Amino acid sequence: MKKKSGRGCFGAPLADLPREDSGVPMPVAFLFRHVLSDGVVTYNGLFGAPGEEGQVKKLRAGLEDGGYDGGLELSAFKPEAICTLLLAFFKELPEPLVGGLYASFMQAAKHPKEDLQVAELKALLRQLPETNRLLIVYTATCFHAVLQHEDKNNVTKRMLAQVFAHALIAGPEPQENIRDKVKLIVLLIDHHSDIAAAVGAPGTRKAG
């Protein structure tokens, strides 16, 4: 594992966070690993409701103190709290995951054919810093894994895309272009394997 000094993870630049061997920031991989674990990934209502305030505060404090290195026992927390903090991580990034390419990503959603949209997504992802690129594709891959249990967790592709749209694809007007953002996230989920191979991103190894 690649580690850097320092602890706090919420609101920290991606470049300052410790990363797994895959290049994915450790806090995100730690949380997703639990979400994709047996008994959690099938939880009815996953990503559907915010976590209890007390649990969210306690879990957040543990993560800020570096508990994502394995010292924090996530089974003590309800799935809602874990999902709430996954979303919070992305929302609180100091710089957008798509960097200065927001307008280009929005334009990619407007191509008339899906294959052109996917090709443009690949080209844009290659232009992003490595950690940003890896994190976007890793997140889409994890979403795809969650959706394999839709019959039990009642999580739909569109729901996930809507919940994370403004956090994953943030622009100068944070609440704008929801339809195009949802379209892009759906494309990332549907074509996660092909996109990962094209841009040099790893898979989830089921959960990490």
Which tokens sit at 80? 């809602």
Confirm if 192 and 202 have CB atoms less than 8 A apart.
no
Structure tokens at 192: 């996660």
At residue 149, φ and ψ (nearest 5 deg) are -120, 30
Residue 203 has what pLDDT?
55
CA 79/CA 184 separation, integer angstroms? 26
The list of the chain residues with pLDDT below 70 reads 1-7, 174, 202-208
What Å distances lie between residue 61 and 3, 55, 65, CA to CA? Answer: 20, 10, 6
- 137 vs 133: CA distance, rounded Å: 6
Rounded (5°) CA angle 186-105-117: 55
Residue type, 69: D
Listed residue (111, 85, 101) closest to 172, CA to CA: 101
Residues in the chain: 208
Alpha-helical (H) ranges within 4-155 are 26-35, 53-64, 79-91, 102-108, 114-127, 130-147, 150-153
At a CB cut-off of 8 Å and minimum separation 6, what does 113 contact? none
Measured torsion, CA atoms of residues 158, 161, 163, 169, in degrees rounded to the nearest 10: -160
Tell me what pLDDT residue 7 has.
60
| Reported pTM | 0.92
Among 132, 2, 6, 24, CA closest to 64: 6
